[in-house]
Amino acid sequence: MAKAPKNAISPTRQEDYPEWYQQVIKASDLAENSPVRGCMVIKPWGYRLWENMQRALDDMFKATGHQNAYFPLFIPMSFLEKEAEHVEGFAKECAVVTHHRLEPDPDGGLRPAGKLEEPLIVRPTSETIIGATYAKWVQSYRDLPILINQWANVVRWEMRTRMFLRTAEFLWQEGHTVHATSEEAIEETEKMIQVYADFARNWMAMPVTIGAKTAGERFPGAVETLSIEAMMQDRKALQAGTSHFLGQNFSKAQEIVFQSEAGTREFAWTTSWGVSTRLVGALIMTHSDDDGLVLPPKLAPNHIVILPIYKDDQRAEVMQYVKSLAEELRAQDYDGAPVRVEIDDRDMRGGEKKWHHVKRGVPIRLEIGPKDMQKNAVFMGRRDQPKSVGIDRNELVASIGDLLAEMQQSLYDRADQLRKDNTVEITNEADFRAYFTPKDEENPEVHGGFAVCHFADEDSLQPLLKDLKVTIRCVPSEDNETPGTCFFTGKPAAKRAIFAKAY
């Protein structure tokens, strides 16, 4: 029997999923922890991934009528106090600027000096500072709607951090809109969660469920929070994006008031919505395997890496061939843009070089040496398949766009199958308990995925959910019209919710 191949990542997903995640990030050179507590360094390969995400999302925001702007990093402490739930939600984890210079410390070194009259908070989110600005901009119904997005860094002083998923500083976008009517604001909230779902599905190849958060899980200050929820390979849920209908809560706190067409003074209706570098974590955990990162072609910095193989005297000939192939491939179209091809001609052992790109998730590797050239062939490794195969050069060039599209789809299908296989309807508490209780003491990570249950009352569930470390992810917006009975309380329930352990 053939020996099982050694994997590039240790431990494997099966052995220790959380540690596997950290090791994939390290092996694929996406990011590393920084010397600053809870903050990470996003390395070039990771940042290119984020840039590709940004570009796609930014185009989608602009296509739905939004413009970018930029608001201050700092929020005066008094601004945060104005919305009671909001400050409750963020006061416990925020970086506070109290001084504006350093001076020599008599004991040596430096110490803070120049105390500020009012402390400044490093924005954890910008509803309050942006709202204060909007209050000046909005006078009349003619000034509405305001449809603005901001790309920015934010800081939340999380105690337990994990790269991309939960870091003290992270990069994100935050949309903040103002509308004349409740209906319009709700429409915007729904439109943007659809944009996020579209991005997750079509760019990240990540299936998601759109739904509403229950009251206990809403954004602090929101009337309604919609989210997209994805299933990671350990069957935990990950909230990948949120869109909040804020009602008039923030417009009342910030006095965003307008004169209506009828001449009355009205509080405006606002929304906010955001996704962050957390999406990179979601991408890693959706597709990667025990050999490292796996990238959907639409977001991969490179689609193809060509690895020329030669002895010294063959170099010129092989490189010429490889360069002309690269040009031919770059002239092909994938998803409306040229195919992205890199040639890796570094002086390095062939195996090492191959694994370098496997671990970094490049969708397609092409190895080409003099023998392949003679046969007009290339040796192709698809990152989503275990074995490399020989393929005719011209056939490759002609089919490359289709091949990449097929990979994109197959990654989606695989993730979707996992989700289907690990989503069950549950109608009684015993089954619910069993589903979320680890089967294997050695491996407490092995537990159920998504449980779909009718429920009537969030509060009464809390002891059970806490006990099992399960949360209500969302009340799905689609395919959720059949009423039933809440087995927790025995009461009639109009909708089902998804329950899961979560990141």
Contact between 59 and a copy of itself by CB under 8 A: the answer reads no
Contact between 78 and a copy of itself by CB under 8 A: the answer reads yes
Site pattern 16..55 for a copy of itself (x: CB under 8 A) = ----------------x-xxx--xxxxxx-xxx-xx----
Query: In a 3-state reduction of DSSP, which class is residue 216?
Result: helix
Contact between 295 and a copy of itself by CB under 8 A: the answer reads no
Closer by beta carbon to a copy of itself, 348 or else 494 = 348
Among 14, 65, 84, 96, binds a copy of itself (CB under 8 A): 96
Closer by beta carbon to a copy of itself, 79 or else 199 = 79
Closer by beta carbon to a copy of itself, 344 or else 431 = 344
Which region, judged by CB under 8 A, interacts with a copy of itself, from 119-127, 218-226, 244-252, 448-456? 119-127
Among 83, 127, 169, 289, binds a copy of itself (CB under 8 A): 169
Among 17, 20, 21, 79, binds a copy of itself (CB under 8 A): 79
**Residues in 121-150 at the binding interface with a copy of itself, rule: CB under 8 A:** 121-122, 129, 132-133, 148
Return d(Cα 382, Cα 396) in angstroms, integer.
12
- Partners of residue 380 on adjacent β-strands: 366, 389
The contacts of residue 92 (CB under 8 Å, 6+ apart) are none
Residue of 489, 503, 426, 429 whose CA lies nearest to 459: 489
Which region, judged by CB under 8 A, interacts with a copy of itself, from 84-92, 188-196, 234-242, 371-379? 84-92
Contact between 191 and a copy of itself by CB under 8 A: the answer reads no
Residues 268 and 149 sit within 8 Å (Cβ to Cβ): no
Closer by beta carbon to a copy of itself, 50 or else 199 = 50
Which region, judged by CB under 8 A, interacts with a copy of itself, from 18-26, 77-85, 353-361, 376-384? 77-85
Closer by beta carbon to a copy of itself, 36 or else 434 = 36
Q: Which helix (H) or strand (E) holds 202?
A: helix 182-202
Closer by beta carbon to a copy of itself, 97 or else 309 = 97
Residues 313 and 282 sit within 8 Å (Cβ to Cβ): no
Closer by beta carbon to a copy of itself, 100 or else 420 = 100
Among 9, 53, 77, 185, binds a copy of itself (CB under 8 A): 77
Burial of 78 (0-12, 13-18, 19+ CB in 10 A): exposed
Residue of 314, 334, 483, 383 whose CA lies nearest to 28: 383
Contact between 484 and a copy of itself by CB under 8 A: the answer reads no
Strand order in the sheet with 237-245: 67-68, 146-155, 169-179, 269-276, 237-245, 224-231, 209-212, 471-476, 496-500, 450-454, 423-425
Q: Are strands 364-368 and 304-308 parallel, antiparallel or unpaired?
A: parallel
Q: What backbone phi and psi angles, to 5 degrees, belong to 397?
A: -60, -45
Query: In a 3-state reduction of DSSP, which class is residue 428?
Result: coil
Contact between 366 and a copy of itself by CB under 8 A: the answer reads no
Count other C-beta atoms under 10 Å from residue 436's C-beta: 21
Residues 287 and 348 sit within 8 Å (Cβ to Cβ): no
Closer by beta carbon to a copy of itself, 151 or else 379 = 151
- Partners of residue 171 on adjacent β-strands: 153
Nearest approach, Cβ of residue 256 and a copy of itself (Å):
14
Nearest approach, Cβ of residue 361 and a copy of itself (Å):
17
Closer by beta carbon to a copy of itself, 96 or else 398 = 96
- Cα dihedral angle (340, 343, 346, 348), rounded to 10 degrees? 100
Residue of 152, 14, 148 whose CA lies nearest to 73: 152
Looking at residue 226, its amino acid is L
Closer by beta carbon to a copy of itself, 110 or else 316 = 110
Return d(Cα 156, Cα 414) in angstroms, integer.
34
**Residues in 418-477 at the binding interface with a copy of itself, rule: CB under 8 A:** none
Which region, judged by CB under 8 A, interacts with a copy of itself, from 98-106, 236-244, 377-385, 438-446? 98-106
Which region, judged by CB under 8 A, interacts with a copy of itself, from 105-113, 268-276, 407-415, 475-483? 105-113
Contact between 100 and a copy of itself by CB under 8 A: the answer reads yes
Count other C-beta atoms under 10 Å from residue 473's C-beta: 26
Report CA 181 to chain centroid distance, whole Å: 31
In the 3-class helix/strand/coil scheme, how is 290-307 assigned residue by residue?
CCECCCCCCCCCCCEEEE
Which region, judged by CB under 8 A, interacts with a copy of itself, from 153-161, 209-217, 438-446, 490-498? 153-161
Residue of 401, 412, 475 whose CA lies nearest to 198: 412
Closer by beta carbon to a copy of itself, 281 or else 449 = 281
Determine the longest span between alpha carbons in the chain, in angstroms: 84
Nearest approach, Cβ of residue 282 and a copy of itself (Å):
18
Binding residues for a copy of itself, rule CB under 8 A, total: 63
Which region, judged by CB under 8 A, interacts with a copy of itself, from 93-101, 187-195, 231-239, 303-311? 93-101
Return d(Cα 438, Cα 336) in angstroms, integer.
46
Return d(Cα 339, Cα 329) in angstroms, integer.
6
Q: Which helix (H) or strand (E) holds 55?
A: helix 44-63
Closer by beta carbon to a copy of itself, 97 or else 405 = 97
Contact between 165 and a copy of itself by CB under 8 A: the answer reads no
Binding site for a copy of itself (CB under 8 A): 32, 34-36, 39-44, 46-48, 50-51, 67-81, 87, 91-103, 109-112, 114, 119-122, 129, 132-133, 148, 152-153, 155, 157, 169, 171
